[in-house]
Structure formats: C-alpha cells, structure tokens
Amino acid sequence: MANRISNNKGEGLQLHQEQYSFVKRAWHVFYLRPRNERIATQILASHGYDVFCPAIPKTKLWKNRQQKKIWYPLFPNYLFVFTYHHEIYTIRRISQVVNYVSFAGKPSTITEKEVDGIRKMLEMGKVITVENQFSSGEHVRIVSGPLKGHEGILVKRRNKSRFGIRLKAISHSVFIDISQSDLEKL
C-alpha cells in the first residue's frame, strides 16, 4: 500500500483531500429493509451513533373506526448516520441495514446544512411532502423565519409557493409551503 508520489501539485492536493474526507465525520446514507427504520435507529443510537430518521405524523383509521396518530418516516427505507467513513462497514453489518448508498463507488453523504434544514421544517409543524423526481424551479434563499439562510428551489403548485431542499444522495426533495416575501432569488 504505497502512496502515490506525483510531481503534479494538483494530484497531491487531491490525494490529501481524499484522505481528509475519511477522517472527517459526515452524514452517511443507509438503505434499510422495509419498515425497519425505528428498530435500526434504536440499535444504532444504543451503540452511540448520531442517527437522523425524520418522521411525520399521519392519522390512521383502524377497522373499529378509531383514529390514531402514527409516525411515518419522511424517507421510507433510508436512515442518516453521522459517522466516520471507516465505520460504515460496521453499520452495514446490522441486520436491518441492506447497504450504504453510494454514488460512483463512493459512499453518499448529505450536508449538515441539509439535515438542519429538514429538522427546522419538521419543527415548523406545517405539511411536508417528499418527491423523488426533481422539479425545475428557481434557486432561492430564505431571508426570514426559522429557515433563514437555507438555500433550495422554489416550485409553484396550485397557486402556492413551495420551498424545497434537494437531497441528491437519495434523489429526493423535501418541500414545505412558504410565503414568497420570505424568499430572495439567487
């Protein structure tokens, strides 16, 4: 296992950045077995991992006509774990985890800002939707309110403005209704 030695300074810098990315913690994306989000979250949290499994409440009507509020995962079968690169293989061994999500042979990650934006959307208590096809829209920044400073896309549907954060790692977008007065165009 020899390090590459190069006269080209750009290649040496790239090698250094790749080594640094393995030392730094990031939000890695894992694909789970169906309906295993809660148990996988509990197992990983008990092992000391920072786990993010966003969920939204839905009212379910049972056969006896009772209504009950049930929490459904915002991204079914996906779980986000804040961990080091070398730990993803340990996490992969848990029976509820099918595999880690990868792109071009490298484990996929989402940014801290994306996780923070989703958390703030959930705290707002408004209706949140998730779409897995990308909608074309303008790039905007929120200038006021709890999501101030977050950047995303603006989509108009049924005369409503909706702000979305794209999670390229899993090809999903999270949307929330927002007033256009809270936005600025980038």
Both tokens of residue 82? 């804040």
Both tokens of residue 37? 């989000």
Provide the pLDDT confidence category of residue 1 given band limits of 50, 70 and 90.
Answer: very low
Average pLDDT of 54-76?
89
Assess if residue 5 is contained within a domain.
no
Q: Is the pLDDT of residue 64 over 70?
A: yes
The CATH number for 38's domain is 3.30.70.940
Q: pLDDT per residue over 90-105, tens digit each?
A: 999 999 999 999 988 8
pTM above 0.85, yes or no: no
Assess if residue 4 is contained within a domain.
no
Same domain for 16 and 98, yes or no, is yes
Q: Is the pLDDT of residue 157 over 80?
A: no
Same domain for 93 and 14, yes or no, is yes
d(CA 61, CA 65): 6
Same domain for 104 and 119, yes or no, is no
- Helices in the chain by DSSP H: which ranges? 9-23, 37-46, 88-92, 112-124
Mean pLDDT is lowest, of 13-17, 117-121, 147-151, for: 13-17
Same domain for 147 and 80, yes or no, is no
